[in-house]
């Protein structure tokens, strides 16, 4: 799906990408180059209430960390702002519901993070597109590294979207496809070319292939 993001300030694009890909909040930058009211509206309507993230949410543990970070930054900004606005109650309410849910898990902060929907944004010609996967938040799970997305996948995906002739009209076999991010992006590029192309995704682990098939079958990936 194409996403209209080209008119957004880079700070908001970076924040959206960080949230959607589950980056640790302490690595993100709160947007300071837009008004506080615009920043809060973006957080509410493009992250909190966006239908895609409602349907394919990050884990509750990640969301609790992220929205705590948001509240802290908004409160700090409001304390030093001349804008006559208040912190949106929907952000508070969502955070409280997350904390209540997460607090029922006795081992939070001890066990590894749970699986999570993760959304990656990538350049699709003049627009952005997104691909969403259910993936592990651990480097190794069940004895394999194939249940999470590795940064190299996005590097190669960006190259292929800039050099579409590499996969358009070709028969492609991906060895070790993991949970499917690169495969989804390659398939999108091939379909757009309207030329005869084939794509075969392979992996040595049946559980990884099942997860890949499940991700490819998500309605947002169709």
For a pLDDT cut of 90, what percent of the chain falls above it? 73
Q: How far is CA 46 from the centre of its chain?
A: 13
Q: How many Å apart are CA 49 and CA 80, to the nearest integer?
A: 27
| Complete DSSP assignment for 96-117 | HHHHHHHTT-TTTTTSPPPPEE
Helical residues (DSSP H) of the chain, grouped into ranges: 10-20, 36-42, 51-55, 60-79, 89-102, 151-162, 181-193, 206-216
- For residue 18, CA distances in Å to 57, 166, 205 come to 14, 29, 29
Phi, psi of 172 (to 5 degrees): -115, 135
Q: Are 98 and 65 in contact (CB under 8 A)?
A: no
Residue 90 CA to residue 44 CA, distance in Å, equals 8
Domains annotated for the chain, with CATH where assigned, are: 7-102 (no CATH), 123-221 (3.40.50.150)
Secondary structure (3-state) at 171: strand
Per residue in 178-196, pLDDT tens?
999 999 999 999 998 888 8
Mean pLDDT confidence for 141-167: 90
Compute the distance between CA of residue 85 and CA of residue 103 in angstroms, rounded to an integer.
Answer: 31
Q: What's the token pair of residue 91? A: 């952000």
Confidence check: pLDDT of 106 > 60? no
Q: How far apart are CA 142 and CA 25, in angstroms?
A: 27
Confidence at residue 139, expressed as pLDDT on a 0 to 100 scale: 86
Distance of alpha carbon 50 from alpha carbon 25, whole angstroms: 19
* Mean of pLDDT values over 149-163: 91
Do 122 and 101 touch, CB atoms closer than 8 A?
no
Read off the pTM: 0.88
Task: Quote the tokens at residue 70.
Answer: 């948001």
């Amino acid at each position: 799906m194409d996403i209209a993001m080209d008119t957004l300030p880079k700070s908001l694009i970076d924040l959206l990408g960080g949230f959607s890909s589950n980056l640790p909040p302490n690595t993100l930058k709160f947007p300071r180059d837009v008004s506080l009211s615009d920043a809060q509206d973006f957080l509410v309507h493009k992250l909190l209430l966006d239908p895609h993230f409602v349907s394919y949410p990050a884990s509750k543990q990640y969301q609790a960390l992220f929205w705590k970070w948001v509240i802290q930054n908004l409160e700090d900004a409001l304390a030093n702002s001349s804008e006559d606005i208040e912190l949106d109650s929907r952000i508070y309410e969502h955070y409280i519901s997350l904390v209540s849910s997460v607090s029922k898990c006795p081992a939070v902060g001890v066990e590894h993070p749970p699986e999570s929907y993760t959304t990656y944004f990538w350049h699709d010609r003049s627009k952005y597109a997104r691909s969403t996967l259910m993936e592990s938040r651990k480097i190794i799970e069940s004895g394999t590294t194939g249940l999470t997305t590795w940064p190299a996948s996005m590097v190669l995906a960006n190259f292929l979207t800039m050099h579409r002739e590499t996969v358009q009209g070709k028969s492609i076999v991906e060895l070790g496809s993991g949970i499917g991010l690169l495969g989804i992006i390659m398939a999108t590029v091939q379909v757009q070319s309207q030329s005869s192309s084939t794509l075969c995704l392979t992996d040595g682990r049946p559980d990884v292939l099942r997860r890949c098939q499940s991700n490819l079958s998500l309605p947002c990936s169709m």
